[in-house]
Structure 1
Amino acid sequence: MNQPASRKIIHIDMDAFYASVEQRDNPALRNKPIAVGGSSQRGVVAAASYEARKFGVRSAMASSVAIRKCPELIFVKPRFDVYKYVSDEIRTIFAEYTPLIEPLSLDEAYLDVTDNLKNITSATQIAEEIRTKIQQQTQLTASAGVSYNKFLAKLASDYRKPNGLYVIKPAQGLAFVETLTVGQFHGIGRVTAAKLNQLGIFTGWDLRQQSETFLKKHFGKVGSYYYTIARAIDERPVTPDRLRKSIGSENTFDQDLTSDAELLAGLQPELDSVWRICERMQVVGRTVTLKVKYADFEQITRSRTTLGPISQKSFLDRIGADLLTSLLPVAKGVRLLGVSLSNLEASDDLSGQQLLLPF
């Protein structure tokens, strides 16, 4: 059984996502042990900051247990609308590189960058760029794992948390897996790990010594999965869960922009980036949305929807410039500009359609 080594897979995992968003938005919570969730006797921890994790506080732990472990624990009510918004910001960054995005949750996703939208040959370079953009645009950190399949990419992202990057190359996969305990395998929980231990299987090397027949006998169909991952093989593709609803690009500037000319010039590369993605994905859209974040972190958006699909770059540029011009002059500096295109459809369905002005 041979694993094709041609794929380039990245697993991105945000670091203590919910808790980090709360610490970002409330400076009084920074560097303190916090738990997102309810503090009542029947409450449950949804997420814990790294400061709280040092005391043994974990997600899905009863709040009463968490308090006993960390008496100074601060509980914060979850704001899932904010987490979803930030998650969408991060997904927009992913979409600059590949349409093959498989989200596992709001804070975690696989990306297949084998054939990517920027024609970058190094998956490691892409992972670094994504991590940098996430930090610049959200003030949050992400860990990344890079490898030739999903199983190893997931293991790699856990290896250097938080705020780390780890790469497992094809020649390293087998040796990496054999040193792990079975409890470290993604997809093997505590109950299964205990059962494997009872069978004398403690490490990846032990697991690789077992036949597929033996593993299926004791674990059913999933035994075949254990057989392959013990050999660093995982043929599962990165599968997007749905057609993307929008594509976009944004940039956080090193210095705040204030003049009309600076702002219009700063927006143009983002319009260019969106159009390049449209061409490569062979899609067009009808709704242009401008995003502006000021120096004091106030954020506003402006949108315009056209009667027909935007099938020419000059049209996209004009709408973007019009939306920005409507906000000029600005009374305070601008730290971020972004543009997105939504209401997408395939561009090859547009033969013979005329350009329709916006309403």
Structure 2
Amino acid sequence: MALKDQFQSPDYYNLDDLFTDEQKLIRETVRNYVKKDISPIIEDYAQRAAFPEQIIKQMGELGVFGPTIPVEYGGGGLDYVSYGLMMQELERGDSGVRSTASVQGSLVMYPIYAYGSEEQKKKYLPKLGSGEWLGCFGLTEPDHGSNPAGMLTNIKDKGDHYELNGSKMWISNAPYAQVAVVWAKDEAGDIRGLIVERGMEGFTTPATHGKWSLRASATGELVFDRVKVPKENIFPTVKGLKGPLGCLTKARYGIAWGTIGAAMDCYDTALRYSKERVQFDRPIGGFQLQQKKLAEMITEITKAQLLNWRVGVLMDQGKATPQQVSMAKRNGCEVAQNAARDARQMLGGMGITGEYSVMRHMMNIESVITYEGTHDVHLLITGMDVTGFNAFK
């Protein structure tokens, strides 16, 4: 049985002075939701490798699906710093919960809003925003992960419809999604985006089992066997990789904030434990090696908080580059990974049990460090940005 959620957010550099009252209220609202509805149940769902379906409606009502999408399309009409704070608080609860929200907002609602027709926006966005429908995003394939340009999934023009064939892998939300935003090559070899609905003949979403990570998140495949997709379901103008990569920039931004939520939870857990756990007749927090771990954790978390705030401001100004977002995503993953590892050591044997969140965070981050651009690929994105040389090829 998990202990009561006593989380207190670390803010070593008074970052709260940089946030508006509205942003702080949004953060508090999501934090309270996590304490009330996620923390008490998430360990059980993770242990059973089950997806808590009820969170879809809950998060829709909370407003965390597509918070930056305009209100008239069912979004929240909020700024990117608010979005980041939402993702931070959700992932403080669990990376899988934040993944559900990230995919819905950044990878499903955003492309429909940015690339879709007016009819597509009106049909899909309000239902996705409210949590009535869940969506997923199909880009990664069994043989094409870091190199999506090599995708084999394709569409052929059949006159009154397109025929879609192929498969996608490692798709969050897939087993429960009503809608999939799918990227496929047309007959000219151009990458196009289209909206596929559950119930279309030949479209199946087999679940992925046996995961040690993101166990409370639903992962699956998308399989397309001669699926007839109406022509009005294709995104009218966007062509090429810039379509899916534009979505991934938004999602990576949310991940940068989310991972620091996980790191903050690990730090807060370790700090509290260090004051309560007595060995050699005193709390372990009084020993130098434990203080070293805590000092390094809070230093890295503070640096990451400043990085995330700054990239959030740049996003709101329309100035953030994909490369800047890459740096924040990669940094957040590394900070969270190290915080989880150090916190686990500080908790000793208790650190591997479900009584504390640390081991679950550690396992989850192993997925987050890989998806939406692996750690090494983000490193090379920064490397190419500063040198001008492409090390990918």
TM-score normalised by structure 2 residue count: 0.28
Compare the two structures and name the one with the higher helix fraction: 2
TM-score normalised by structure 1 residue count: 0.30
- Structure of greater Rg: 1
Q: More relative contact order in 1 or in 2 (CA 8 Å, sep 6+)? A: 2
Compare the two structures and name the one with the higher strand fraction: 1
